[in-house]
């Protein structure tokens, strides 16, 4: 692993190119020369050296308005808490926390409001006395962080490493009660148990999404002609069910869906899962999935956000190129046990407990039949399922209140749509980036 110091001019050049990419105006040459001279003087005075690092994060997102900082006066986000903790720990100064781009702070995925992450990656330049500090920096930062955000590890990276651009693909998971897939002709309650045949049908439907398709119907304010709506799905599968014991409802069956793709748009994952649930319940035909990729606008239901989490960001191509000189970033075996413990106790346990408390999926199912899907009159329930689609549980009586909650959630999500052109449930990449990511993924996994 190389330990040469990065020349000051390289740091200045990297910052200048990033500012240009973000649309910020360039300073004039005279002012730039003065800034360069000042930076050189500061470099001579200090003993620290700037190097590029990759930071691994885990967090439960239910108390935060997404990953990315919203600036001073904005809502509390994962990044705002992280930067604040880094200042308190003495890792960065307040001036860098106020302007994260000044030390090239980036994140691999812009997780949305309330979305959790098991393995999120950030890249940045840091001034550390020596590489031995890598082992102590995470604990210093964690001492200043709330318990639902943890820095799991820190590794040296190449000078050109960019956690978002070098990411081959992203894996998300969605955990939900299996009664979500119960046909509408059956009673929908928490005693439901999914059969092997039904689970096989769920996986058959999820498999339709694999490959490259136009997902403009699975996000908001996009047109079919927008080339950035093409996304590459590598795998999409529902795992075996498991039983969770709740003090009030007793034993309830859940399952976890895993999806891996080059990148995702805002709401895309939740809408794909919402459509599969609608088909399994008999509210839409299987053929509607193919129709969603065509030019016609289709009303696709969006599943609740509670069960969604970012499982992992993949760096297979980066590791293949630089594993001889730098630490690998696709796997972090040294902190694998801590990551798994955080996932089970802080993220998954919270999802299960909150679902039992709020009944978000059951309430959402009670209004699912009012979606139009393939073009029925808006607001009209499907005739063949109207009578059967009554949710036979005491919790379903809260359906009217859920309508209000759903509207409130929609308004909250509309606030996030302001950044939608840039954001995804992971990222809003250009078609070129998506295609490059797809090619990298294909090479990395050997066209499995």
The answer to whether the CB of 305 falls within 8 A of the CB of 268 is: no
Token look-up 């109207």 returns 386
Please check whether residue 282 is in contact with residue 385, taking contact to mean a CB–CB distance below 8 angstroms.
yes
Tell me the catalytic residues.
Answer: 112
> Tokens representing 346?
């802080």
**At a CB cut-off of 8 Å and minimum separation 6, what does 146 contact?**
63, 81
Query: Per-residue DSSP letters for 148-203?
Result: TEEEEEEEE--TT--TTTT--EEEEEEEEEGGGGS-TTS--STT----HHHHHHHH
- Residue 172 backbone dihedrals phi, psi, to 5 degrees: -115, 160
Query: Is position 172 annotated in a ligand binding site?
Result: yes
Burial of residue 202, with CB atoms counted within 10 A of its CB: 0-12 exposed, 13-18 middle, 19 or more buried: buried
Q: Cα–Cα distances in Å, from 38 out to 7, 17, 353? A: 14, 19, 54
CA atoms within 13 A on the CB side of 117: 31
Please say whether the beta carbons of 423 and 266 come within 8 A.
Answer: yes
Residue set of the binding site for substrate: 172
Residue set of the binding site: 172
């Amino acid at each position: 692993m190389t330990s040469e110091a990065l020349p000051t001019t390289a740091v200045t050049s990297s910052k200048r190119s990033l500012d240009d990419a973000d649309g910020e105006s360039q300073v004039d040459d005279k002012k730039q020369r003065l800034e360069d001279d000042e930076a050189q003087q500061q470099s001579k005075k200090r003993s620290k050296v700037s190097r590029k690092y990759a930071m691994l994060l885990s967090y439960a997102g239910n108390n935060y308005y997404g990953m990315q900082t919203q600036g001073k006066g904005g809502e509390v986000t994962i990044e705002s808490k992280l930067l604040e903790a880094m200042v308190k720990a003495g890792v960065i100064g307040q001036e860098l926390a106020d302007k994260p781009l000044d030390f090239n702070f980036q994140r691999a995925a812009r997780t949305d409001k309330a979305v959790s992450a098991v393995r999120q990656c950030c890249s940045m330049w840091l001034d550390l006395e020596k590489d031995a500090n890598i082992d102590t920096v995470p604990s210093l930062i964690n001492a200043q962080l709330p318990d639902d955000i943890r820095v799991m590890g820190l590794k040296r990276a190449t000078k050109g490493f960019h956690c978002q651009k070098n990411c081959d693909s992203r894996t998300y998971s969605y955990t939900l009660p299996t009664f979500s897939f119960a046909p509408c002709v059956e009673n929908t309650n928490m005693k439901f148990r999914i059969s092997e045949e039904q689970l096989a049908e769920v996986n058959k439907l999820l498999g339709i999404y694999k490959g490259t398709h136009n997902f403009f119907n699975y996000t908001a304010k996009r047109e079919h002609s927008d080339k950035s709506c093409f996304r590459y799905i590598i795998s999409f599968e529902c795992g075996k069910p498991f039983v969770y014991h709740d003090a009030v409802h007793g034993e309830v069956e859940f399952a976890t869906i895993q999806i891996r793709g080059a990148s995702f748009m805002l709401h895309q994952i939740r809408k794909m899962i919402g459509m599969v649930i609608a088909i399994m319940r008999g509210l839409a035909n299987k053929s509607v999935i193919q129709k969603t990729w065509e030019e016609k606008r289709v009303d696709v239901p969006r599943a609740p956000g509670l069960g969604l989490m970012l499982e992992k960001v993949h760096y297979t191509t980066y590791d293949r190129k630089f594993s001889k000189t730098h630490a690998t970033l696709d796997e972090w075996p040294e902190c694998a046990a801590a990551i798994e413990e955080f996932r089970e106790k802080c993220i998954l346990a919270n999802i299960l407990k909150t679902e039992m408390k709020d009944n978000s999926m059951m309430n959402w199912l009670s209004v699912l039949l009012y979606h139009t899907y393939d073009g029925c009159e808006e607001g009209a329930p499907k005739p063949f399922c109207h009578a059967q689609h009554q949710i036979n549980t005491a919790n379903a009586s809260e359906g009217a209140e859920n309508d209000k909650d759903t509207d409130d959630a929609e308004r909250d999500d509309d606030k996030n749509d302001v950044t939608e052109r840039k954001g995804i449930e992971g990222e809003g990449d250009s078609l070129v980036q998506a295609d490059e990511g797809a090619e990298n993924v294909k090479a990395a996994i050997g066209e499995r």
